[in-house]
Amino acid sequence: MLCRVCASNRQTEFASEINVHFSGPKGLDQPSVFVFPRITVCLDCGFSDFRLTADELSVLTQGNGTSLSSKGTNTLDECRFDLRDCA
């Protein structure tokens, strides 16, 4: 499978643990949620993506009080992140 950003075929899958924090003032009172997806990383441009399990997604949806789709995510079963944004 080619990278969706740079079309490289140099992608590797890694185990990960991600601590998700809820945003905004209301998020300060909510505990963060640990998720443990397999993450695919492009070794050329750094684009990364992963899929959450239904259970992890349910915890995020219930803890935030809104659905992820209202935050701009296209579907409730998939979240994508670009690790270059974290630098």
Tokens 């492009």 locate to 42
Average pLDDT over residues 6-14: 97
Query: How high is the pLDDT of residue 60?
Result: 85
Predicted confidence band of residue 61 (pLDDT cuts 50, 70, 90): confident
Q: Where are the domains of the chain?
A: 11-86
Q: Given a cut of 60, is residue 40 above it in pLDDT? A: yes
Q: Given a cut of 80, is residue 28 above it in pLDDT? A: yes
Q: Cβ(50)–Cβ(62) under 8 Å?
A: no
* Dist CA 13 CA 56 (whole Å): 19
* Dist CA 27 CA 34 (whole Å): 15
Compare 46 and 81 and report the one with higher pLDDT. 46
